[in-house]
């Protein structure tokens, strides 16, 4: 599904990603964690080329991003992304936020797009807010809308970049529930998050990054109960 | 009731005009100055004004010579446009006024404006120039307000979209595109409009072959467009920069291409953000069209100025200038009002999602 090979990236002379190799199968749920500044966001942003990289390759379903830069939009259409700060379009209603991309790039009729958008809105339990504007709803609702917006494109994989870290604590749960449902349906997911409860429950693999390197890539039980790396142990002792 | 009102007035006065000694002194001073000014203006404009009579009557009186305006208003408003065809620019101006009221209603803000605006412009141009059954009037006979309106509406119609393109070009990642755009904008902003007008009318013909005779009005129009496009570009760029980068990223992540991202996500937000400076630039541009006087085009300012050279009506420049100032003011006032209205309609909460 996603194959990252010998990925290296620099911001000027700062080496953010160091020789990353990673392969994610269809239907796998992968959680990425690590200290601030370790390059987690940068890594998943490379996967839909929101971030350029200098060396190595990223391939989505066997298609190398660098080889298909002309039609990078095509690749992005199949890769959903949810941001820490939601990034809803404030000038459009919730419903319009959801139908914009499908009507523009998938050539779906307005009505079909609306029907489908309403389906996803009820799935994330906010169909009653469809005609409101983003700044009229709460943070948790915004993030659920953002997830629904990505789902409307029928993505083959979903990337999450700390989807709950900008939320008030009482809203974290509703977003995690939506993500858990999504995982149960078999969506391929890559999540940067520090919600360790979610990671333990949902993840097939947990990746620990530090200073631009993948330090550990383990199943949850091994990750939490038998960490074998001193840096990982230290990290776990800080957040658990 | 009356007592209550009086009481309120007194209370208001006490609080706002005479709260303490220093404030009271200032208030009294301002009141005296205000009344004095009002008295002088009334005296000049109404009491001592000459409504009827010729220029000698005017010279004897100490007030405004309104009969000068009565004599010259047609010339100031329409220049030397043939009197028998005067209905054409008048109809044209009325159409613009109707369009303006149509345009400032929120329910009419839709894509059809993109068609209505150019259509109106072509009707207007057709009315002024004639053809297709109307007897032709050559454009060196156009003048006054219709010319000012022509220069400024076409100016805005063309230079605003051009400015948007320049702003996008300036932010382009491709240096091949952004460097020339930066050079262009900085160059234009570093030069006064008046010198661009001179260049277009005096220098350009020197470089062009003799038989290629592009008309003066067209060259002035191009100069105005090139000039204000640079200003619009900077205004729009301000709007583009005010958006959080997450907006563009979200659009890209959904698979929108560059054009779709700009058209549907970035520009609708960015342009709304900068409505006040945009209208500001438009007002500035509207007034700047008066500079075409330096290349002998007789727009509103030009006709006012040349109306002063009539030998039998010498010396009434104050009246003439106040007359055109009022017209400029009325138009700019409505543009400013419109700006406030649009801002109100689009008032977006500061909170970003
Ligand atoms: N545009 C940029 N230019 C220069 N340096 C950057 C840029 N973006 C990120 N960095 C640096 O790259 C490093 C990795 O950033 P990244 O955002 O990937 O970290 P992260 O693991 O997601 O951290 P956090 O948990 O704080 O989100 C950081 O040290 C950051 O300062
Ligand atoms: Mg991050």
Render pLDDT for B289-339 as a digit per residue (tens, 0 to 9).
999 888 888 888 888 888 888 777 777 788 888 889 999 999 999 988 888
Q: What is the pLDDT of residue B339?
A: 85
Q: What is the CATH number of the domain that holds B345?
A: 1.10.3720.10
The answer to whether the CB of A16 is under 6 A from ligand 1 is yes
Same domain (yes/no): B56, B32: no
Q: Look at residue B10 and tell me if it is in a domain.
A: yes
- Which residues form the domain of B23? 1-47
- Asked if the structure places residue B251 within a domain, the reply is yes
Ligand 1: residue of A13, A31, A40 to mutate (most ligand atoms within 8 A of CB) is: A40
Residues B160, B264, single domain; the answer is yes
Residue B152 is predicted with a pLDDT of: 93
Rounded to 5 degrees, what are φ and ψ at A124?
-95, 10
Q: How many domains does chain B have?
A: 2
Identify whether residues B200 and B346 lie together within a single domain: yes
Rounded mean pLDDT, A171-183? 94
Domain annotation covers residue B101:
no
In a domain, B144, yes or no: yes
Interface probe with A: pick from B250, B252, B273, most Cβ of A within 10 Å? B250
Q: Which of A156-160, B197-201, B277-281 has the lowest mean pLDDT?
A: B197-201
More confident position, B303 or A164: A164
Cβ contacts of B256 on chain A, cutoff 8 Å = 73, 100-101, 104-105
Structure tokens at A117: 């958008």
Residues B217, B191: one domain? yes
pTM of the model: 0.87
What are B136's two structure tokens? 């032709």
Whether residue B163 is found in the same domain as residue B226: yes
Residues B270 and B142 in one domain: yes
- Please report whether residue B162 resides in a domain: yes
Q: For residue B271, report the distance from its CA to the centre of ligand 1, in Å.
A: 31
Q: Is residue B87 part of a domain?
A: no
Tokens read off for A88: 């809803």
Q: What is the mean pLDDT of residues B31-46?
A: 88
User: Shortest CA distance to B306 belongs to which of B147, B146, B149, B72?
Assistant: B72
Cβ contacts of B100 within 8 Å, gap of 6 or more = B334
- Give the three-state DSSP class for B212: coil
What is the rounded CA–CA span in Å between residue B349 and residue B353? 10
For B93, B202, B203, B204, B205, the CA distances from B209, given in Å and listed in that order, are 37, 14, 12, 10, 8
B349: confidence class by pLDDT, cuts 50, 70, 90: very low
The answer on B340 and B211 residing in a single domain is yes
pLDDT in tens, B77-109: 888 888 888 899 999 999 999 998 888 888 888
The interface residues of chain A toward chain B in range 15-44, judged by CB-CB distance below 8 A, are none
**B2 and B65 share one domain:** no
B2 within some domain: yes
Asked if the structure places residue B90 within a domain, the reply is no
Residue partners of A115: CB distance under 8 A and separation at least 6: none
User: Do residue B36 and residue B59 come from a single domain?
Assistant: no
Least confident of A60-64, A67-71, B149-153, B208-212: B208-212
CA A35–ligand 1 middle distance (angstroms):
11
Nearest to B227 by CA among B146, B147, B166, B302: B166
What residue spans of chain A are helical by DSSP H?
40-46, 72-77, 94-105, 110-123, 139-151, 169-184, 196-202, 220-225, 230-239
Residues B39 and B145 in one domain: no
Shared domain for B313 and B213, answered yes or no, is yes
Q: In terms of domains, do B42 and B185 share one?
A: no
Q: Tell how far the Cα of A40 is from the centroid of ligand 1, in angstroms.
A: 8
SS3 annotation, B29-98: HHHHHHHHHHHHHHHHHHHCCECCCCHHHHHHCCCCEHHHHHHHHHHHHHCCCCHHHCHHHHHHHHHHHH
pLDDT of residue A211: 94
- The two most distant CA atoms of chain A are separated, in Å, by 55
Q: What is the pLDDT of residue B109?
A: 82
Nearest CA to ligand 1 atom 29: A37
Which residues of B sit within 8 Å Cβ distance of A?
A: 244, 246-247, 249-257, 260, 264-265, 268-269, 272, 348-349, 351-353
For the record, the structure tokens of A143 come out as: 């993030």
């Amino acid at each position: 599904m996603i194959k990252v090979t010998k990925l290296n990236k620099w911001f000027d002379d700062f080496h953010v990603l160091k020789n990353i190799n990673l392969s994610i199968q269809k239907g796998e749920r992968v959680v990425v964690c690590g200290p601030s500044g370790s390059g987690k966001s940068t890594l998943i942003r490379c996967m839909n080329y929101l971030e350029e990289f200098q060396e190595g390759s990223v391939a989505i379903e066997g298609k190398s991003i660098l080889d298909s830069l002309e039609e990078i939009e095509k690749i992005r259409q199949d890769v959903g992304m949810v941001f820490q700060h939601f990034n809803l379009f404030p000038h459009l209603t919730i419903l319009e936020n959801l139908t914009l991309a499908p009507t523009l790039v998938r050539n779906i009729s307005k009505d079909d797009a609306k029907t489908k958008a309403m389906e996803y809105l009820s799935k994330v339990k906010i169909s009653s807010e469809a005609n409101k504007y983003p700044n009229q709803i709460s943070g948790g609702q915004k993030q659920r809308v953002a997830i629904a917006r990505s789902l409307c494109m029928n993505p083959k994989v979903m990337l999450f970049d700390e989807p709950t870290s900008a939320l008030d604590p009482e809203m974290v749960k509703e977003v995690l529930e939506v993500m858990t449902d999504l995982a149960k349906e078999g969506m391929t997911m890559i999540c940067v998050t520090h919600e360790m409860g979610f990671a333990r429950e949902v993840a097939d693999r947990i990746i620990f990054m530090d200073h631009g390197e993948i330090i550990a890539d383990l199943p949850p039980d091994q990750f939490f109960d038998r960490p074998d790396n001193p840096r990982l142990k230290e990290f776990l002792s800080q957040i658990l | 009731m009356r007592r209550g009102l009086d009481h309120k007035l007194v209370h208001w006065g006490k609080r706002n005009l005479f709260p303490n000694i220093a404030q009271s002194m200032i208030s009294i001073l301002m009141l005296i100055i205000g009344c004095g000014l009002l008295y002088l203006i009334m005296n000049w404009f109404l009491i001592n004004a000459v409504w009827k009579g010729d220029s000698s009557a005017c010279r004897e009186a100490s007030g405004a010579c309104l009969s000068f305006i009565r004599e010259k208003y047609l010339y100031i408003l329409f220049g030397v446009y043939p009197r028998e065809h005067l209905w054409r620019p008048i109809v044209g101006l009325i159409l613009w006024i109707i369009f303006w009221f149509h345009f400032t209603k929120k329910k009419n803000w839709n894509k059809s404006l993109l068609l209505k605006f150019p259509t109106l412009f072509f009707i207007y141009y057709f009315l002024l120039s004639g053809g297709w059954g109307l007897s032709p009037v050559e454009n060196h006979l156009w003048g006054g307000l219709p010319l000012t309106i022509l220069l400024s509406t076409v100016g805005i119609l063309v230079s605003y979209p051009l400015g948007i393109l320049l702003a996008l070009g300036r932010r382009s990642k491709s240096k091949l595109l952004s460097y020339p755009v930066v050079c262009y904008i900085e160059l234009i902003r570093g030069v006064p409009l008046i010198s661009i007008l001179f260049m277009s009318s005096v220098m350009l013909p020197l470089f062009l072959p003799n038989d290629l005779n592009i008309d003066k009005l067209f060259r002035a129009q191009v100069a105005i467009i090139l000039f204000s496009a640079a200003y619009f570009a900077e205004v729009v760029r301000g709007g583009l920069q005010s958006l959080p980068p997450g907006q563009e990223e979200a659009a890209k992540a959904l698979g929108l291409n560059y054009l779709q991202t700009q058209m549907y996500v970035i520009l609708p937000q960015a342009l709304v953000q900068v409505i006040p400076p945009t209208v500001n630039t438009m007002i500035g541009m509207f007034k700047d069209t008066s500079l075409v006087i330096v290349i002998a085009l007789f727009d509103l300012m030009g006709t006012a100025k040349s109306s002063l050279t009539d030998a039998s009506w010498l010396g009434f420049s104050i009246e003439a200038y106040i007359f055109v100032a009022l017209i400029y003011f009325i138009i700019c006032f409505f543009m400013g009002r419109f700006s406030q209205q649009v801002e109100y309609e689009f008032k977006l909460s500061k909170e970003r999602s």
